Structure 1
Amino acid sequence: MTWTLPEPMLSTPTPRPDLPPGMAGEPKWDGYRALLSVDEGKVELRSRRGTDLRAAFPEIVSGTAQLRDGTALDGELVVWEKGRLAFERLQHRLQRRGTTAEWAAGERSAHFVAFDLLRLNGNDITSWPYRRRRAALESVFSARRLTAPWTLCPSTTDQDVVNEWLTWGAVGMEGVVYKSLTEPYRPGARGWLKYKPRETTEAIVGAITGTLATPRTLLLARYDTGRRLQYVGRTTTLAAAASSSVAPLLTAATGEHPWMGWSFSAAWGSRATLDVTLVEPALVGEVGVDVARDSVGRWRHPVRWHRPRADLSAADVTLSTSPE
């Protein structure tokens, strides 16, 4: 009987960076969650939501020649570019098929960062505790002498190592995931913890969704070195109180606007565009952001609006503005 990949085990946010007792920490990669199985010569590679990824990542499929039959892994697909994780390059890879996927595999090769072993020599080992599965995963890498596209995710029970990982935001690491040493792999369950560092900084409001009377989200900007207003991200949906407090501070754009004629994607990888209203880029706000950025410095996840900053001029908010 052919073995079927289980649903991925999931995590819930934790506000504390401290390594909990009885747990191990792993870096949280800015990539694309994937599960992989090699069973009776058949390769299965799917996303967290079940999308078949084989056609988009032929180098991962061909790389399974290094694995023994009856192996299944959980991990993260990543693409490195210029010394950092490049999620936008990975996102572009998802759309490629056939010869263009083969070309992309050569130009922007993906790696599979393995952080869990679900099947070993044809045996389902999801009931094993994390500690035992981790030891088995390490033995697979050493015994098979795995090379690219396979990468072994680090794991530690040392708080000092965790603290070091939390300084890796500049290369695209999103934070840390904590896993109980004694817990089995529970498909679909939120049994892991994830910590993402957040920082406070400033941005300019350049457009909104919703209406001027009741803005729903804010499209944010910063000036580049050429004094061009660059889009850097969008807020989460504003709470009613925040929407009411921001509305009187907004002025509809008149005449030329730096974003005239621009379109904005509704989400990463989505072809849907937002219906936006351009506003005069004068309002500066304090926002809470995580460390995930694309290669040009845009925030990859929606940011949290904290408050207006009437004491700051929009001219002072640049792409090099440091968090406070």
Structure 2
Amino acid sequence: MSWTLPEPMLTLAADIPDLTPGWAAEPKWDGYRAQLAVHPGGRVLLRSRQGTDMTAAFPEIRAAALAQLPADTGLDGELVVWEHGRLAFDRLQQRLARRGRGAAEGAGQWPAHYVVFDLVHTDGADLTGWPYERRRAALEALFTDHRLEASLTLCPSTTDPAVARGWLEWTAAGLEGLCFKRLDQPYTGGARAWRKYKVRTTTEAIIGAVTGTLGAPRTVLLGRYDAAGRLQYVGRSTTLSARFGRTLGDVLVPSAGVHPWQGWTFSAGWGTQRTLDVVLVEPAVVLEVAVDVARDAAGRFRHPARPHRIRTDMDVLQVPLSGEA
């Protein structure tokens, strides 16, 4: 093996979805960032942004790479799984946990697709020094010349602001937003030089517990009732400011009697075994929050919700049901 994949190029948050001259836009997918390398001799490496080898968990991607790509290719892209007409991030999580026979069964049940948005190595050449516009042309030629299909998919790219804004209508299918890349920009591993805009919406949820103390909570755990009248956990907030925490502390009441979440444990985050130390509160306070469109199969917010304001004018029974927007 004469070359290695560079570190992934990273993104910074953008506040608005505007595409300006000199930049291109791509859809931002709700999946796993992954780099794919095909080396001479049939060696394939599919690795995560953190460097984890995911090749064994996605045998259909390895097979497609061997069958369709030249044996000296390095790509950057996103692993996704479609289910019921939308992206299913939780299925990706389940796929990653499987190996051996389980991986083959997972590929049959929830097949993955590798959405390619960059070409960093081909035919013995390191393309990271090339500007995005030239790399993109080479990537499109790769797909055309080798008729790539099925598990390997070319990510759309545009310099037309109207087209980019049109992609934001795909959020119902799990699209998270847009990624912006400067046309003259090289691929700089580890640098946060791309921009990402995430679609966010304002909604309501019920505070069921807090971390920290009741008088000065650090985060809140949010719930919504399901159709059967059970309070389901739907997500956690970002860290509260001291001022907002004190304001919440004035209206929250400690749980009296049996709480719907009594005995539950809450994870501190995906990929960790650590659980949260929480204080249960009476589920009587409604909080307005800003959330992005990423959800799991149960309708829970995958990313922390940003608190906006306490909805003293709203009853908990007016909050959308679990699984609703």
- Shorter-normalised TM range: over 0.9
What are the superposed Cα offsets for residues 10-32 of structure 1, whole Å, 9 maximum, x if unpaired? 11111111102111100000000
What are the superposed Cα offsets for residues 30-62 of structure 1, whole Å, 9 maximum, x if unpaired? 000001111123211111111111121111112
- Amino acid in the other structure paired with 2:295: R
- Amino acid in the other structure paired with 1:54: T
What are the superposed Cα offsets for residues 194-224 of structure 1, whole Å, 9 maximum, x if unpaired? 1112121111101111111221110001122
Q: Which residue of structure 1 aligns with residue 220 of structure 2?
A: 218
- Amino acid in the other structure paired with 2:182: S
User: Is the Cα contact below 8 Å between 2:295 and 2:301 reproduced in 1?
Assistant: yes
What are the superposed Cα offsets for residues 71-122 of structure 1, whole Å, 9 maximum, x if unpaired? 0100001111101001111111111111111111111111110000011112
2 CA distance for matches of 1:78 and 1:122?
28
Q: Which residue of structure 2 aligns with residue 168 of structure 1?
A: 170
TM-score scaled to structure 2, two decimals? 0.96
1:234 matched to 2:236: yes
What are the superposed Cα offsets for residues 130-175 of structure 1, whole Å, 9 maximum, x if unpaired? 1111111111111111122101100011111111111211111110
User: Is the Cα contact below 8 Å between 1:297 and 1:319 reproduced in 2?
Assistant: no
2 CA distance for matches of 1:169 and 1:31?
13
Q: Which stretches of structure 1, 4 residues or more, deviate above 4 A after TM superposition?
A: 320-323
Q: Which residue of structure 1 aligns with residue 142 of structure 2?
A: 140
1 CA distance for matches of 2:227 and 2:238?
27
Q: Which residue of structure 2 aligns with residue 193 of structure 1?
A: 195
Match of 1:131 among 128, 133, 139: 133
2 CA distance for matches of 1:118 and 1:242?
46
Q: Which residue of structure 2 aligns with residue 309 of structure 1?
A: 311
Partner of 1:167: helix, strand, or coil? helix
Q: Which residue of structure 1 aligns with residue 263 of structure 2?
A: 261
Equivalences for residues 32-47 of structure 1 within 5 A: 32-41=32-41, 42-47=43-48
Partner of 1:241: helix, strand, or coil? helix
User: Is the Cα contact below 8 Å between 1:83 and 1:171 reproduced in 2?
Assistant: yes
Q: Which residue of structure 2 aligns with residue 57 of structure 1?
A: 58
| Structure 1 residue 322, shift from structure 2 partner | 7.8
Q: Which residue of structure 2 aligns with residue 5 of structure 1?
A: 5
1:156 matched to 2:158: yes
2 CA distance for matches of 1:166 and 1:320?
24
| Structure 1 residue 318, shift from structure 2 partner | 2.2
1 CA distance for matches of 2:165 and 2:216?
41
User: Is the Cα contact below 8 Å between 1:201 and 1:322 reproduced in 2?
Assistant: no
User: Is the Cα contact below 8 Å between 2:232 and 2:322 reproduced in 1?
Assistant: no
1:108 matched to 2:110: yes
| Structure 1 residue 270, shift from structure 2 partner | 2.9
Distance 1:297 1:322, change over 3 A: closer
- Amino acid in the other structure paired with 2:65: T
More moved, 188-197 vs 255-264: 255-264
| Structure 1 residue 321, shift from structure 2 partner | 9.5
Distance 1:269 1:321, change over 3 A: closer
1:281 matched to 2:320: no
2 CA distance for matches of 1:122 and 1:106?
34
RMSD across aligned positions (CA): 1.4
1 CA distance for matches of 2:245 and 2:88?
33
Equivalences for residues 294-305 of structure 1 within 5 A: 294-305=296-307
For structure 2, the residue ranges without an aligned partner over 5 or more in a row are none
Identity %: 60
Aligned length: 323
1 CA distance for matches of 2:162 and 2:28?
16
User: Is the Cα contact below 8 Å between 2:299 and 2:323 reproduced in 1?
Assistant: no
2 CA distance for matches of 1:45 and 1:284?
43
TM-score scaled to structure 1, two decimals? 0.96
Partner of 1:155: helix, strand, or coil? coil
| Structure 1 residue 295, shift from structure 2 partner | 2.2
| Structure 1 residue 256, shift from structure 2 partner | 1.7
1 CA distance for matches of 2:64 and 2:245?
50
2 CA distance for matches of 1:103 and 1:219?
35
2 CA distance for matches of 1:262 and 1:143?
54
User: Is the Cα contact below 8 Å between 2:211 and 2:277 reproduced in 1?
Assistant: yes
Partner of 2:60: helix, strand, or coil? helix
More moved, 29-38 vs 245-254: 245-254
| Structure 1 residue 268, shift from structure 2 partner | 2.2
